[in-house]
Structure formats: C-alpha cells, structure tokens
Amino acid sequence: MEAPPIMQTPPPAPRGMGCFAKGCLTLIVVGLVLVAVLVGGSLFVLNRAIHVFTSTEPVQVQVRPATPAELQVAKAKLDTLRSAARNHQEATIEFNANEVNTLIANEPEFRGAAGHARVAIANSIASLDVSAPLDSMRWKRLKGRWFNGNIQFGFSYVDENFSFDIRSVEANGHQFPRAILTSDFMRSFNRSFNESFHRESGKHADANNLWKHIKMASLQNDKLVVTTRAM
C-alpha cells in the first residue's frame, strides 16, 4: 500500500526530536537537512533559499497505525537488538519500513519524532518524509523555520562511521538538482557528519555504548539490516 502523503497539522509540534535506539535521530535528520540548505544556498541568494526551501510551520507526517501484532513484532526485534548489544553477542536483525515506522510512532526512544518522520525502503534506498525544526542549526535566519520535505538516500554504518549516498532532496515542494550532490560534496558531508555524530554521541554514554556494539548497518533491498558486534 502506498504511504499516505504529508499533511498539514493544526497543532504546534514540539521543537526537538528524540533519539532512536539510543542513537541521535536529531543529528541524522538535521545533518541531511543541512545538505538541502547548503545546496539551496549555492543556487540562490541565501534569503531567497531560506524562503523557498523552508517554512514557518511544521507539517504532520502520517503513518498507518500498526496492528497489535505488528507492534509486538517490531518491539521484539528492537528488544533482540538491545539484548545482543548488551550481552556482546553477534546477531543480525532486519527491520522493514513498516516496523521502523511502528517504532517511531510507539517507542520512547523516538519521542518527538512521531508525527514528524516516515520512512519507506525499496531497492536499498530509503525515502524519508520529514518535518524537522531548524533551530539547532544556529543560524539566526533559521530560527523558527522548518524543513518539510523528502530525502532519498542509501547509507551504511561500518567501523563506527556512516556513509550516506543522497540521491535526491525535495524541500517545501522544490526539488534540488541531482548534479549538485557530487561525490566530492558527499565525501565532505560524510566526514563532517561523522565528526558531529561522534561528538554528540560522546555526550550520551548510553548512545555511545550502543553504537560501539553495532558492527554494521545498511539498507538491503526493502530492509534495514543491523548486525551487532561480539566483543
């Protein structure tokens, strides 16, 4: 079934996003948003780019409510991941997009992300619909602004580093040219992203400890595949 479109929300949303599986969802979303803003800034005068590619209001990202059985399966997989990491056991856990969305909607680690993010996975590419506050980017012009859009990307996590391959970015209904996302730009982005990720996760012992016990993670076909490390 095709995922429902992003829809406008009347109620204000919390300005902030939580963590998932003790990792930093905020950093991942804002890191990807930064690509969109920087690319937009290279195409237009900055003020014009901010007006075109960001909004003053969030939108509601809807997901299909999970059935009790689906929720049970998703929670069991997350518990298996936590247990394997905690006990230093190697295990491979596969999550489909519905399970990821179910965890976003129901797990405390995703607090604040519910209603603001939805993922689809196909052909080893994630399609992330997201509504994210830009206040944390520390640009005064972005205070009170939101990124509402879609980012399509491949990624892997190996040797405690992420590698993103961003295929397309759409913000506020405007598409960025794919030619902008060059290999040089992506290398620079990945280096900067990983530096920020390690700095931020280092501030949270639980998050840092979990990620150190993840051997690898990647998108494979229509699944997010995570393998824990035996130590």
114-146: pLDDT as tens digits: 888 899 999 999 999 989 888 776 677 778 888
pLDDT greater than 90 at residue 110: no
Tens of pLDDT, residues 9-51: 334 333 333 344 333 444 554 555 555 555 555 544 467 777 8
59-89: pLDDT as tens digits: 999 889 999 999 999 999 999 998 998 899 9
For the residues 102-119, what does the mean pLDDT come to? 85
Tokens of 118: 């939805």
Residues near 36 by beta carbon (within 8 Å), at least 6 away in sequence: 53, 147, 149, 151, 169, 171, 176
Entry pTM: 0.79
Please state, in angstroms and as integers, the Cα–Cα distance from residue 176 to each residue in 48, 168, 172, 188, following that order.
14, 7, 11, 18
User: What per-residue confidence (pLDDT) applies to 30?
Assistant: 53
Determine phi and psi for 179, rounding to 5 degrees: -65, -20
Enter the DSSP assignment of 140: G
